[in-house]
Amino acid sequence: MHYYITNNTSTEAVAIKDIPEVEYATLYNDLKERLKQEQYHVAHYFATPDENRLMFYIVLLDDKEHQIMLARFAMEYYDDIALPSLTALHPALHPFEREITELYNVHFGSMPWDKPLRFAEARRNRNSTIDNYPFYTIEGESLHEVNVGPIHAGIIEPGAFRFICNGEKVLHLEIALGYQHRGVESEFTSTNNRLRQTLLAESIAGDSAIAHTSAFAAAIERLSDNAISDSLATERIVALELERMAMHIADTGALSMDVGYQLGQVACEALRTMTINTTQAWCGNRFGKGLIRPCGTNKPLTKEKVEMILSNVEQISRRYAEVSDDIQSSPTLLSRFEHCGIVPQNEMQRIGGVGMAARASGLLRDIRSSHPWGAYNTEPRHDSCTMHDGDVMSRLKVRCEEVQQSAQRIKSLLEGYTTSEKHLRPDYECNLKPSHLSFGLIEGWRGEICHVALTDDKGQISTYKIKEPSLHNWLALALAVRGEGISDFPICNKSFNLSYCGHDL
């Protein structure tokens, strides 16, 4: 089957007419075989109305050849034919097919489970609401159910968890999401104010504001033929790695808290504060809001800021190494973290897991190495850190190593860095190429973030689709807790730390 081939270093959007339009059967047969190989995975798959047709787009990634492959197919808007479901063969497509069914009433034949994805405002079935969702149940005298949420015990976003337990052991966990649904994607297309769209990107998931806005900016820059300078690309990567450090440290602290290791918790809280205050001293916001802007920046690095970042990062990296050494030499912690919440590599691949959770299971999914952009595309190449056990400890160890890698990356990018005061200012007025498809593909701290923008014949954004790494990884959490004691759920959950709002949009 023929795909349109591009890659993550491309500075151009793709004309929609150049994307081959195929028959669904052709795509189905191609993906059926292709997705058996580890090198391929689907970054995005969605449908959008196109006059009186429904057009489906697929963004397939070839990790080995570093290629992004695009294809599309169409069906009549009111056609009532069932397309054979790919989920049955490759569960990685499950969330995508569920979304298409929820929004457009398209049925996939032999779809194992067409549960609504997020009870979106635009869903077709108005009778299905989040409040009356029927959870999966199992009958049995020895079984009981535990409901958690949607409001959780801590200060955290809402989501409903239903456990089916046999004694202390979790047999099955079902996660129902959608409480955080704000209509982000439709807000992108209801405005032409580019600044408003930028701020929407910043609020997709506040803990990944830099990553999501970088993906948005990349999509806009491709659509407007605005290739950014190398130094701006470098500064964005420094910001992205600071965000990764802050969140990995926060999660190390959260995991420490949940096993009663207070020293690690407070040390990590203090180190995270130092990291986000570094970002704040750079751009005025602890989460990097205001830092990434399309086609330019309002916050260029100055010599003083470079020195401040370098000295803070050096200290954070040294002190964090002490905490991670302590964790890895404390038997009481290891006994909680090891062999707990295991997701094996083949399972991770089947369900389409991405990012640091996938790497902890030995599945190498890392856009920085498979589809490098900006400074990741120059030597030294990013050497992704992978573990093999897929347990809570592996996910913690990936964090420990990645904090050091990020610190090293920031150091190598900023040492001897010549600040450029002549950065372009952001451009909110630039015209976008009409009838094009553009994308932004970024490795955020959770994993792969893929934004896709389509423009209409007037150059307005007509469809904006966001894929957060949490979309697939929520199922990994549900699998991780199977067979574990329910009291281990908190550490399993924190070891993934997935986004609710990024999933619910």
Tokens representing residue 391 in the block = 């347990």
Which residues is 293 bridged to in the sheet?
296
Angstrom distance (rounded) from CA 251 to CA 237 = 21
296 binds another protein (CB under 8 A): no
Select the span of 45-53, 72-80, 277-285, 447-455 touching another protein (CB under 8 A): 277-285
First to last CA, the chain: 33
> Does residue 329 belong to the site contacting another protein (CB under 8 A)?
yes
| Three-class SS state of 42 | strand
Member of 66, 182, 382, 482 binding another protein (CB under 8 A) = 182
Distance (Å, whole) CA 78 – CA 75: 8
On the question of a cis peptide bond just before residue 344, with omega within 30 degrees of 0, the verdict is no
486 touching another protein, by CB under 8 A? no
Q: Is the peptide bond before 380 cis (omega within 30 degrees of 0)?
A: yes
**Residue with structure tokens 């077709």?**
124
Chain CA centroid to CA 300, Å: 26
Answer for which of 74, 171, 270, 486 binds another protein (CB under 8 A) is 270
Q: Which stretch binds another protein (CB under 8 A): 3-11, 81-89, 286-294, 399-407?
A: 286-294
Q: What SS3 class is residue 254? A: helix
Complete edge-to-edge strand list for the sheet that includes strand 169-176: 143-148, 160-166, 169-176
Site membership for another protein, residue 39 (CB under 8 A) = no
Partner residues linked to 437 by β-bridges: 14, 454
Region 111-170 residues binding another protein, contact defined as CB under 8 A? 119-121, 130-131, 150-151, 153-158
Q: Do 92 and 41 contact (CB within 8 A), yes or no? A: yes
Region near another protein per CB under 8 A, out of 103-111, 167-175, 199-207, 456-464: 199-207
Q: Is 419 in the site for another protein (CB under 8 A)?
A: no
Which span (30-38, 84-92, 189-197, 344-352) binds another protein, by CB under 8 A?
189-197
Work out whether 260 is an interface residue with another protein (CB under 8 A). Answer: no
Residues in contact with another protein, shown as a per-residue x/- string from 428 to 467 under the rule CB under 8 A = x---------------------------------------
Residues that bind another protein in the complex, under the rule CB under 8 A = 119-121, 130-131, 150-151, 153-158, 178-183, 186-187, 190, 193, 195-196, 199-200, 203-207, 209, 250, 263-264, 266-267, 269-270, 273, 277, 280-287, 289-290, 298, 318-319, 322-323, 325-326, 329-331, 428, 499-501, 504
